Structure 1
Amino acid sequence: MASKAKDGAIETVKTIVYALVIAGIFRTLFFQPFWIPSGSMKDTLLIGDFLFVNKMAYGYSAYSCPFSACPISGRIFASEPERGDVVVFRHPTRGVDFIKRVIGLPGDTVQMKNGVLNINGAPVQLTDGGIFKEPKDLQGPQRLMPRCENDPVGQGGICEKERMIETLPNGKSHSILNISDTWVADNTPVFTVPADNYFFMGDNRDNSEDSRFAAPSGLGFVPSQFLIGRADRVMFSSAGRSLFFFWTWRPDRFFKAIE
């Protein structure tokens, strides 16, 4: 009996080890977990959203490929990102991962005029998306306080932002948030996206460090070799300081498609 119990325990341990190895290989080759730490992509992504990044969406790059034979620059087996894709990439100078939306493709011109995005000289289509509301309170592990269009708002009050539906030239639509049309990045020069580079912006337009700000202090253009993958779906979401605070879970965001 003791021998059978020992054999059973060994088999259980082996099963767990095999499962962990398979999960590790699956993660390395195909998907990478990503936890949303800031509000720059509200209301598409909220602080505390947990998602998996599809590393195969654009082929392997120097920052997503697990093999030593990966390219130092460019991508292999690549398909091109499209305007409107939500992408995780490595910051070109800081060595940390960012998540933003693809706005400009190689050769595009991008400019902000009075808070309105212009691509290749034409303003994008905007329609009313209602008012985005959230509690004016500390959010996530970093305890970030949201900015509000209706400030001053006391802690615990209702923070509001204008929400618009933005439609890009390829027909993809998504919501954006706006606080003011006179923020520092609401009027910009014309940016011409270089070959093999992309222009990224956050959906929370007045609270996003993105390609409107030049590197190294900002983001600037992002070369293709820094792309990691596309974010397609929120798997889990927690509004609290920890995912273990089950009373702060957001069940309505579980398995939510990212648009």
Structure 2
Amino acid sequence: MNFALILFVLVIITGVAWVADKLVFLPQRRRAAEAAVDEFDRQQARIGERFADENAPATRARLREEKLRQPWWLEYTASFFPVILIVFVVRSFVVEPFKIPSGSMVPTLLVGDFILVNKYDYGIRLPIVNTKITEGRPLQRGDIVVFRYPKDESVDYIKRVIGLPGDVVAYQDKKLTINGKPVPETPLPDYFDEERIGYAKQFEEDIDGRKNAILNNPAVPPFIVGAEDYPYRDNCKYDAQGVVCKVPPGNYFMMGDNRDNSADSRYWGFAPDKNIVGRAFFIWMNFSNLKRIGGFH
């Protein structure tokens, strides 16, 4: 069961309890409190001022508070409803937090980065059913996107958008080409990969004027090993030089920035538009390196 569904169920349960408390149980407690206070006042009147308890005002207030107090089962349901509702709305329609679990997006994103994902940029989707209710803007090449893995939609993946519907994407001889145009690469200083404890070749890639760093070791063979069967596989041609794919309608070609260590569209196929979760845009925490906090390209 995914977290969104669990959160939705909690909203329903706590919401029903909150409404029941406001309409039924709170009025009952108020009547009981008023009756108890009235009875206390009558007792004080009967014993007279001479024998009246000097702490009577405090006792009266405490009696009223006890009668108004929520029972434990309402305290742990209705009381949490506003907080759970806010979390559900923000997480479903505004931003959602994720943690980077693997090195497929190195050097842009590192293992342990906690990121925020914009949930409305590409159009708002209803939680659970994932039905789009607003269009938003279209995905652009170079966007970093979180999406549900087509082979197992309970798993979230994060990759960079390389090919849009109708694009012809070629990754051959370790070089990326989109619609017949080579994507420019500029060498950068070697990158020290802490996960693999070694240096890796680093380049700056320019996709439609949007620049980002990638890791790409020219010594690694260009051919794809272990490509799976997937929808529209006939749109792709694999050979000793790599792969060429035409992106089908309603789908995207995704790749990781760590080109030799990324399970992406070269291996499992295309990411359907219905699986898109949102655009990643900000690192809000990395407990191993606080300097990581900030935006990224």
Bin of the TM-score, shorter chain as denominator length: 0.7 to 0.9
Instruction: Name the structure where helix makes up a greater proportion of residues.
Output: 2
Write the deviation string for residues 100-132 of structure 1: whole angstroms up to 9, x where unpaired.
000001111111121111111121111122111
Write the deviation string for residues 155-183 of structure 1: whole angstroms up to 9, x where unpaired.
xxx41101100001x21110001233424
Q: For residue 94 of structure 1, what is the aligned residue in structure 2? A: 152
Cα 1:75–1:161, aligned 2, differ >3 Å: closer, same or farther?
Answer: farther
Distance across 2 between alignment mates of 1:75 and 1:116:
38
Aligned counterparts, 1:26-105, within 5 A: 26-61=90-125, 65-66=126-127, 71=131, 76-95=134-153, 96-105=155-164
Aligned counterparts, 1:110-189, within 5 A: 110-135=169-194, 146-147=195-196, 158-168=197-207, 170-179=208-217, 180-185=219-224, 187-189=241-243
Q: For residue 49 of structure 2, what is the aligned residue in structure 1? A: none
Distance across 1 between alignment mates of 2:81 and 2:119:
24
Cα 1:189–1:134, aligned 2, differ >3 Å: closer, same or farther?
Answer: closer
Write the deviation string for residues 182-229 of structure 1: whole angstroms up to 9, x where unpaired.
24349323200111110000000000010111xxxx2x0111111010
Distance across 1 between alignment mates of 2:290 and 2:128:
37
SS at structure 2 position matched to 1:112? strand
Q: For residue 18 of structure 1, what is the aligned residue in structure 2? A: 82
1:205 equivalent to 2:263? Answer no
Corresponding letter in the other structure for 1:91: Y
Distance across 2 between alignment mates of 1:250 and 1:80:
33
1:235 equivalent to 2:284? Answer yes
Write the deviation string for residues 29-65 of structure 1: whole angstroms up to 9, x where unpaired.
222211100000001000000012111110134xxx2
CA contact (8 A) 2:103 2:109 kept: yes
CA-CA distance at 1:23 after TM superposition: 2.4
Greater gyration radius: 2
Cα 1:106–1:75, aligned 2, differ >3 Å: closer, same or farther?
Answer: farther
Q: For residue 7 of structure 2, what is the aligned residue in structure 1? A: none
CA contact (8 A) 1:75 1:225 kept: no
Q: For residue 140 of structure 1, what is the aligned residue in structure 2? A: none
User: TM-score of the superposition, structure 2-length normalised?
Assistant: 0.65
Distance across 2 between alignment mates of 1:75 and 1:172:
29
1:252 equivalent to 2:291? Answer yes
Write the deviation string for residues 17-38 of structure 1: whole angstroms up to 9, x where unpaired.
5334322321122222111000
CA contact (8 A) 2:243 2:266 kept: no
Cα 1:164–1:258, aligned 2, differ >3 Å: closer, same or farther?
Answer: same
CA contact (8 A) 1:111 1:187 kept: no
Instruction: Name the structure where strand makes up a greater proportion of residues.
Output: 1
Higher relative contact order, structure no. (Cα contacts within 8 Å, ≥ 6 residues apart): 1
Distance across 2 between alignment mates of 1:207 and 1:67:
31
Distance across 2 between alignment mates of 1:112 and 1:134:
23
Aligned counterparts, 1:211-230, within 5 A: 211-213=265-267, 218=268, 220-230=269-279
Q: For residue 195 of structure 1, what is the aligned residue in structure 2? A: 249
CA-CA distance at 1:75 after TM superposition: 6.9
Q: Which stretches in structure 1 are left out of the alignment for 5+ residues?
A: 136-145, 148-157, 239-248
